[in-house]
A and B are shown apart, each in its own frame.
Chain A
Amino acid sequence: MSSFKKRVQTSQTKLPQGTRLSPYNGQLLISTGVPSLDDILCVLLIKEDRHTEYAKLLLKYFLVQGIVSENHVLFSTLEEEDSKNFMMGLPWLVNENDDNNDDDENITPESEEKMIIAWRYKGLKKFESSVKNKSNIQNKILNDTIGTKSQQNIEKPFCSTFDLTKSIPQNIILENKLMTLVNLNEKNDEIIENFNPYNTLLNTIRKVIEENHFSSLSKPSLNVERNVLRIGIHSIASPSWQSKSSHDLFVFLHALRGLLRFSFGAAVITIPAYLYTSSSSETSSFVRRIEHMCDAVVEVESFAGSPANTNAIYSATYHGLFYVHKLPTLNSLVPSSAKLSVLSGGGGNNLGFKLRRKKFTIETFHLPPEGGINERRVPEKDQTNKSKKKDDKNKNKSGIGVSGSGCGTIPGRKVDPYDF
């Protein structure tokens, strides 16, 4: 990847499928499948959530984005008997004919007319709490002929939109030659001494890199186009991964980092970090060491299972919090995603995620207005209505994601000329 940067300046090399150059420093970016997360080619660690499977969902997005972009995909896990089952469960592309009527995306035009008092805010943009996916849907690309050489070399969008209710067509999994599923289960009834799943996995990855010319050290033949390798590992270091010492995982990650630095590839690894905490919510030293070995670390914390959070007002809108612990600072002092990400506002914003019926989004986390939207501000004189108020509070049908007229400073808002 490092040497690739120099070659780009001679405009003869074509970028691998599914990547684009970062506008800030020319580094190669790869899409994770979720519009709000764009990744430099590096190792991303996702700390899993307890009781729920949101981290698994992020990994699925990453892998299916790779399949759609025709990148080579390598996947391994010890959580399931057959890695194929995991792949069968991947979501698939949105069909352009489907109505995009998702829950609260129906931004009714009436809300704009209601601004009688706050009429000054009418002309301002809507409060963008999430990143809109600007990429075109696959089918529309067929009509676009700019920059395409032939019918087959159609420029795929950088980040495709996926529909969680649709699962991936079977034939894509079965016939896909660009996929490697690594089976780390020991053979039945054989207990191999010194079996180290990390070593096996590492050797497999090395082989794949060599065979498919992902390494930036080797020059590919003229006809072969460069491709990108996406590595996905689910629940590394879970109890199913038996290894002799705790250092095996570090060595694996260190070696993986070294391999990926000189290859066109990115890895997304999920780890059940909550299994290793010694005391409440403190990162154990084991996990801390792993975090140091990885380029980027994010954490998914869901509200499910913790009573304080499930009863809170915001649990209706968000399903959990999304933390960014470490940003990749490859080849620069400042993490490049700090500039690119509108969402995080340079790291200052809290992020939450929500799982809608059809997609998974990450948004800036902001508390709903005090008391909910339906509650009356002025208490009624009639005493019998007090119970009614309480009902409204519990229902809390807040269209919070659609809050158009922002008054005052809302965290995460980029442009507000009325702030002073």
Chain B
Amino acid sequence: MGYASLDSSLSFPDNNLPPNKKSILITDTLSASGNFLIHHFIVNQIKSDKHVILVGFSQIFNHYLTIGRKLGVNLTLANQKGLLSFIDGLTSLYSQTDLFSKFNSTVTATTTTTTNNQTSVLTCDSLSDSPISKESLHNFYKIIKQIIETRHSSIDDSRVCLIFDDLSVLIYSGFSVRDILEFVKACRMMIEKYNGSLVMLVHADEDITQSSLDDELDQEIFLKSLIYQSEYLLSVRGLGSGFSKDVSGEITIARGPRNQDKWFRPSTLHYKILDNNVQFFVKGFSQGVL
């Protein structure tokens, strides 16, 4: 399973998979990156033989592949079996970065076949002239929908997990808050229809208290809207007292506003990132400290 100590703290029923039709919001800061949690959810899904759709805005497939290998899953194999669908948002979101059209003689229009680099790409046609527009997001949504519909013919118990690595990229790049929120809502409704779950990673360490600019206000609206719509909140921060070798940071597992689960226990833990595992422990009980 993912990180054993996290599984026991989250105590999701049903084989450590995120509960049906729920969404999880991960927030992180610059000093404490929340990336490791993404890997946790990927590993759990793959090991339970459930489908994962991974949208990578800030990392390429190889990054997840290498780390997945250390954590015990082979993502290439999962991709071939159809358990993992990767959408490369880093190179394919805008026409400016689209490298694949030049180097791949066969530009794939489907999204689950493997190209040379075992990633799925958006085609050039889907990008309009001004790439930062509602159309790009709409096309994005269509691609995700296509993946889910082709993969899961029956709605029941698909337990598909849609993971957005770094939604903050969208808002930093200039998409309007309203468009992004609509996009997320559309994805959430589709996931609920298919009995799946949604995991989103957002950066939440901007100083928004003193801002009056539109940009910062957008960020605040964006973040708060996402929080209100999520059932589980995992907030990752650095330690308040500074850097420590034994503790990489602090994670707070909290209940979202819509959450009514009785079995859920909010907690705050410390964690330490190792090369092939992440250890979670109650504050003050780290092995380096004891």
**Chain A interface residues toward B at CB < 8 A:** 2-3, 199, 202-203, 206, 210, 215, 217-218, 245-247, 250-251, 254-255, 257-259, 261-262, 278-279, 282-286, 288-289, 291-293, 297, 325-326, 329-334, 345-348
Residue B117 is within 8 A (CB to CB) of chain A in the complex: yes
Give complex CA distance A206, B91 in Å. Answer: 12
Residues of B within 8 A of A326 (CB): 30-31
Of the residues B30, B63, B278, contact of A292 by C-beta under 8 Å: B30
Given contacts A330-B63, A333-B35, 11 further A-B contacts (CB under 8 A): A210-B102, A217-B116, A245-B174, A254-B93, A262-B60, A262-B91, A285-B206, A289-B203, A292-B172, A332-B67, A332-B70
Give complex CA distance A44, B211 in Å. Answer: 27
Give complex CA distance A245, B243 in Å. Answer: 35
Of the residues A247, A289, A329, contact of B35 by C-beta under 8 Å: A329
Cross-chain contact B216 with A348 (CB below 8 angstroms): no
Which of B117, B169, B172 has the most C-beta atoms of chain A within 10 angstroms of its own C-beta? B172
* Given known contacts A261-B60, A331-B67, A333-B36, A251 and B103 CB-to-CB distance under 8 angstroms: no
Residues of B within 8 A of A346 (CB): 245
Give complex CA distance A131, B199 in Å. Answer: 43
Residues of B within 8 A of A285 (CB): 206-208, 211, 215-216, 219
Give complex CA distance A292, B244 in Å. Answer: 22
Give complex CA distance A254, B172 in Å. Answer: 10
Give complex CA distance A334, B271 in Å. Answer: 13
Of the residues A217, A254, A279, contact of B173 by C-beta under 8 Å: A254
Cross-chain contact A2 with B60 (CB below 8 angstroms): yes
Q: How far is the CB of B240 from chain A (nearest CB, A)?
A: 16
Q: How far is the CB of A289 from chain B (nearest CB, A)?
A: 5
Residue B273 is within 8 A (CB to CB) of chain A in the complex: yes
Give complex CA distance A288, B243 in Å. Answer: 19
Closest B residue to A256 by beta carbon equals: B97
* Given known contacts A288-B30, A331-B63, A3 and B117 CB-to-CB distance under 8 angstroms: yes
Cross-chain contact B172 with A261 (CB below 8 angstroms): no
Q: How far is the CB of A273 from chain B (nearest CB, A)?
A: 13
Closest 6 CB pairs of A and B: A247-B174, A2-B62, A285-B206, A258-B91, A331-B66, A255-B97
Of the residues B94, B116, B244, contact of A251 by C-beta under 8 Å: B94
Q: How far is the CB of A298 from chain B (nearest CB, A)?
A: 13
Residue B149 is within 8 A (CB to CB) of chain A in the complex: no
Closest A residue to B243 by beta carbon equals: A347
Residue B205 is within 8 A (CB to CB) of chain A in the complex: yes
Cross-chain contact B90 with A329 (CB below 8 angstroms): no
Residues of A within 8 A of B203 (CB): 289, 292
Residue B289 is within 8 A (CB to CB) of chain A in the complex: no
Give complex CA distance A352, B60 in Å. Answer: 34
Q: How far is the CB of B28 from chain A (nearest CB, A)?
A: 9
Residue B14 is within 8 A (CB to CB) of chain A in the complex: no
Residues of B within 8 A of A278 (CB): 207, 210-211
Give complex CA distance A246, B171 in Å. Answer: 12
Give complex CA distance A137, B67 in Å. Answer: 38
Docked complex: B14-44 residues within 8 A CB-CB of A: 30-31, 33, 35-36, 39
Give complex CA distance A291, B29 in Å. Answer: 10
Residues of A within 8 A of B116 (CB): 217
Q: How far is the CB of A277 from chain B (nearest CB, A)?
A: 10
**Chain B: number of interface residues, binned into ranges:** 35 or more
Cross-chain contact A333 with B67 (CB below 8 angstroms): yes
Give complex CA distance A288, B28 in Å. Answer: 12
Residues of A within 8 A of B245 (CB): 345-348
Cβ proximity bits B239-254 to A, threshold 8 Å, 1 near / 0 not:
0000111000000000
Q: How far is the CB of A258 from chain B (nearest CB, A)?
A: 4
Give complex CA distance A210, B100 in Å. Answer: 12
Docked complex: B81-117 residues within 8 A CB-CB of A: 90-91, 93-94, 96-97, 99-100, 102-103, 116-117
Of the residues B31, B96, B216, B275, contact of A334 by C-beta under 8 Å: B275
Give complex CA distance A261, B219 in Å. Answer: 27
Cross-chain contact B215 with A246 (CB below 8 angstroms): yes
Q: How far is the CB of A27 from chain B (nearest CB, A)?
A: 9
Docked complex: B38-67 residues within 8 A CB-CB of A: 39, 58, 60, 62-63, 66-67
Of the residues B31, B172, B215, contact of A293 by C-beta under 8 Å: B172
Residue B180 is within 8 A (CB to CB) of chain A in the complex: no
Residues of A within 8 A of B62 (CB): 2-3, 331
Residue B10 is within 8 A (CB to CB) of chain A in the complex: no
Cross-chain contact A215 with B63 (CB below 8 angstroms): no
* Given known contacts A262-B99, A282-B207, A292 and B215 CB-to-CB distance under 8 angstroms: no
Cross-chain contact A247 with B172 (CB below 8 angstroms): yes
Cross-chain contact B207 with A251 (CB below 8 angstroms): no
Residue B143 is within 8 A (CB to CB) of chain A in the complex: no
Give complex CA distance A190, B99 in Å. Answer: 32
Q: How far is the CB of A285 from chain B (nearest CB, A)?
A: 4
Q: How far is the CB of B166 from chain A (nearest CB, A)?
A: 8
Cross-chain contact B207 with A202 (CB below 8 angstroms): no
Q: How far is the CB of B214 from chain A (nearest CB, A)?
A: 10
Q: How far is the CB of B106 from chain A (nearest CB, A)?
A: 14
Cβ proximity bits B196-228 to A, threshold 8 Å, 1 near / 0 not:
000000010111101100011001000000000
Give complex CA distance A255, B132 in Å. Answer: 13
Cross-chain contact A286 with B215 (CB below 8 angstroms): yes
Cross-chain contact A325 with B31 (CB below 8 angstroms): yes
Cross-chain contact A258 with B172 (CB below 8 angstroms): no
Closest B residue to A285 by beta carbon equals: B206
Residue B120 is within 8 A (CB to CB) of chain A in the complex: no
Q: How far is the CB of A52 from chain B (nearest CB, A)?
A: 25
Residue B168 is within 8 A (CB to CB) of chain A in the complex: yes
Q: How far is the CB of B4 from chain A (nearest CB, A)?
A: 15
Docked complex: B174-205 residues within 8 A CB-CB of A: 174, 203, 205
Cross-chain contact B63 with A251 (CB below 8 angstroms): no
Residue B274 is within 8 A (CB to CB) of chain A in the complex: yes
* Given known contacts A254-B90, A331-B63, A288 and B206 CB-to-CB distance under 8 angstroms: yes
